[in-house]
Structure 1
Amino acid sequence: MAEFQEGAPCWVDAMFTDVEGAKEFYGDVLGWTFGEASTEYGNYTQAYSDGKAVAAVVPPMPGADAPSQWCLYFASSDAAATAEKIKAAGGDLMMEPMQVGSFGTMVIAKEPSGAVFGVWQPGDHRGFEKMGEAGSYAWAEVFTREPEKADGFLPQVFPYESQQMDPGDDPETAGMDFKVFSLGGTQNAVLGRMKMGDDFPPEIPPYIQVYFAVPNCDQAVEKTEARGGMLHFGPMDSPFGRFAALTDPQGAAFAVIDLETTVGEMPSFE
């Protein structure tokens, strides 16, 4: 499979107190199947779509009291060097570079406005085996109240170019502060950045919203609610697809998007 470019999203995982409940939920909503838990690595369990690795779930480490949340990892050819860039750019390391057997090396960090992310230097585990198709990772956005901090940080750590979206005259986008980070122009966009408005309760910290592709957004929302999850936004049509923002029954935020159902013209970027 193709190598991931430096700074490209390459993997997602999440900690769940109730791993079996998470497996049942995402198995229903996203159609995932799951491999055997790796007892050597904290019962880390990979999720598959059509037999291809797309994510992982893991129980919290003993004594940890972290909320359930999805963590997006960005590819790095040298995790230690990326960790130094993170510190130099004003970010915080939550986990120093740690080798995970022969699989690779990971870092967990927080960008200056507060969103948590991971860095992955691949070994035997390269990353996503499937992307941009139903049942797999599709897109991600940094949600932050201090966009200038995230905007200044990201290109110092990864080789990103950035483009600001022109909100235009559409009432749906009026006042929206949205930026796209790419690895060589908007045709290779890899990450969005959205300013959190007053519609976000103050207790919600900055975070990275991970989008998973689904064949039908509305059906995914129905399954989420039927299994005790919550709908927070949408379903909404867009030029990128029909999407909705959700939380699962354990409180982890995620979004679903039907990439085939597109409405409207693509926005322009400055």
Structure 2
Amino acid sequence: MAVQPEGTPCWADAMFKDVEEAKRFYGEVLGWTFGEASTEFGGYTQAFADGKAVAAVVPPMPGQEEESQWCLYFASRDAAATANRIRQAGGEVVLEPMTVGDLGTMCIARDPSGVAFGVWQAGRHEGFEAVAEPGAYCWAEAYTREPGRTDAFFPAVFPSYTTKRMEADGGGDFRVWEVDGGPVLGRMVMTSGDFPAEVAPFVNLYFAVPDCDAAVERATGLGGAVRFGPMDSPFGRFATLADPYGASFTVIDVARTTGEVPKLTDVA
């Protein structure tokens, strides 16, 4: 798969204290297989769906053994320049741009509301080899308690973004960012009724599955928990899960849709 346009989600990984158990869980739930752990890069292990690289798992670095969380990386032509825009827009660069062999350059950041994400400047590793196929990444949403700050931040960091408002039944405040006319990221508001104060802002990743209910059953049978759903939608039948290590993610059967897709309108 070619290098993605600036600001497009291009890779995902997560740290797990028990990588072997994480591999077992995601192997069963998403059908992943795994490559050899890279000793050069701290045990970094790529996950594959039908032979295509779709994510990675890695042991935590010393002092980072906290609860696991998936990290979504956005494509950048120049990670250093993107890091500068992150700071100028009021965000925090947690990990300064770092060259990873000949694979590329990465950095980790947070938006002004605390949403954590990664930036990836591709080298030999261009990112996802499959998207929206069974077992592969297909969508993501940034969850924030301060939508105004998040809404201003991401288009400032990724100037290619255009902002749309989703016109859904029942109202709600949901935004979508597009690149070249295609949606790349959603924005949700964390309400106090749905998210306890101790839950930090985050990016929720969606992975495609051939059967949402079967994936939920496998996940709960392996110690995971259901946080929302399963539920039918115009985008597919989906459920949000927590793996046994605390990382949240959503599984979605994009072939099983119900209802009309809500309209998107421009936001000035």
TM-score (norm 1): 0.96
Give the deviation of 1:66 after TM superposition: 3.0
Alpha-carbon distance in 1 for matches of 2:225, 2:172: 24
Give the deviation of 1:77 after TM superposition: 0.5
Give the deviation of 1:230 after TM superposition: 0.5
Aligned residue for 1:161? Answer: 162
Alpha-carbon distance in 1 for matches of 2:52, 2:157: 29
Alpha-carbon distance in 2 for matches of 1:264, 1:245: 20
Aligned residue for 2:83? Answer: 83
> Aligned to 2:175, which of 179, 185, 195?
179
Give the deviation of 1:164 after TM superposition: 0.9
Instruction: List per-residue Cα deviations over 1:148-192 (Å, max 9, x = no partner).
Output: 11100000011100101123xx3xxx242100000023xx00000
Secondary structure at 1:194 match in 2: strand
Alpha-carbon distance in 2 for matches of 1:209, 1:84: 25
Q: Is the 8 A contact 2:3 2:122 kept in 1?
A: no
Give the deviation of 1:65 after TM superposition: 3.0
Alpha-carbon distance in 2 for matches of 1:15, 1:133: 23
The alignment-based identity, stated in percent, is 62
Secondary structure at 2:85 match in 1: helix
Alpha-carbon distance in 2 for matches of 1:11, 1:19: 18
Q: Please provide the CA RMSD for this pair.
A: 0.8
Alpha-carbon distance in 2 for matches of 1:2, 1:232: 34
Give the deviation of 1:196 after TM superposition: 1.2
Alpha-carbon distance in 2 for matches of 1:123, 1:66: 30
Q: Please, which runs of 5 or more residues in structure 1 have no aligned partner?
A: none
Alpha-carbon distance in 1 for matches of 2:81, 2:42: 26
Instruction: List per-residue Cα deviations over 1:235-256 (Å, max 9, x = no partner).
Output: 1111111111110000001000
Aligned residues: 263
After TM superposition, list the pairs within 5 Å mapping 1:41-190 onto structure 2: 41-158=41-158, 159-167=160-168, 170=169, 174-185=170-181, 188-190=182-184
Q: Which moved more, 1:198-207 or 1:149-158?
A: 198-207
Q: Is the 8 A contact 2:17 2:65 kept in 1?
A: no
Secondary structure at 1:222 match in 2: helix
Give the deviation of 1:99 after TM superposition: 0.2
Q: Which amino acid aligns with 1:157?
A: V
Q: Which amino acid aligns with 1:214?
A: V
Alpha-carbon distance in 2 for matches of 1:239, 1:130: 22
Q: Which amino acid aligns with 2:166?
A: M
Alpha-carbon distance in 2 for matches of 1:61, 1:201: 27
Q: Which amino acid aligns with 1:32?
A: W
Q: Is the 8 A contact 2:238 2:251 kept in 1?
A: yes
Q: Which amino acid aligns with 1:62?
A: P
Give the deviation of 1:69 after TM superposition: 0.4
Q: Is the 8 A contact 2:2 2:126 kept in 1?
A: no
Q: Which amino acid aligns with 2:10?
A: C
Give the deviation of 1:39 after TM superposition: 0.5
Structure 2 residue 208 is matched with structure 1 residue 207: no
Q: Which amino acid aligns with 1:112?
A: P
Secondary structure at 1:4 match in 2: coil
After TM superposition, list the pairs within 5 Å mapping 1:244-259 onto structure 2: 244-259=239-254
Alpha-carbon distance in 2 for matches of 1:180, 1:114: 19
Q: Which moved more, 1:193-202 or 1:235-244?
A: 193-202
Q: Please, which runs of 5 or more residues in structure 2 have no aligned partner?
A: none
Alpha-carbon distance in 1 for matches of 2:3, 2:92: 27
TM-score (norm 2): 0.96
Structure 2 residue 218 is matched with structure 1 residue 223: yes
